Amino acid sequence: MQTGQPPEETTTSGPTSTSTSPTNWRAQRTRPRNGLGVTALVIGVAALVAAVSFVLFPLGLIAAVVGIVIAIVALAGRKRRGSTNTGQMIAGLVCSIVALAITIDLSVHVGTWAAHNTGAFTRLDRCIARSNNQNQVADCISAFARDVRS
């Protein structure tokens, strides 16, 4: 018997006789298709990690939406595909929903902060445009930091 080939056909007589013909061998080797559930979980956790990091939260927003879609598709077709990992699908859906909520909240807060500080950004831009050396740029950044804090 070669690797990857079905076992040779064997039968025994009696009530426990089994046949491992190629058709039965494939039926016995059929595995549940759990790929979408695992994918939903991995993307959900990655979206959650990206959502809590300040720099990656835009990627977290996209990943959360993708994770929600994949989890819903996985949950809707789990019976048809014979999936056995409903818990992973649900965990992926929950992680993606939490990541989406975090990224939306963070987006609103960052957007609101930026809108309230447009004057400070304008002054920083003008100051840097007028500066001639690194010391003046450093002074511009210090002034920007004071403007934002007040």
* Nearby residues of 123 by Cβ (< 8 Å), 6 or more positions away: 143, 144, 147
* pLDDT tens per residue across all 150 residues of the chain: 455 555 555 555 555 545 555 555 555 556 667 888 899 999 999 999 999 988 888 899 999 999 999 999 999 888 888 778 888 999 999 999 999 999 999 999 999 999 999 999 999 999 999 999 999 999 999 999 998 887
pLDDT in tens, 107-126: 999 999 999 999 999 999 99
Q: Where are the domains positioned within the chain? A: 32-103, 117-150
Task: Indicate the residue type of 95.
Answer: C
**DSSP sequence for 13-61:** SSTT-----HHHHHHHT-----HHHHHHHHHHHHHHHHHHSTTTHHHHH
Angle between helices 35-52 and 86-116 (to 10 degrees): 30
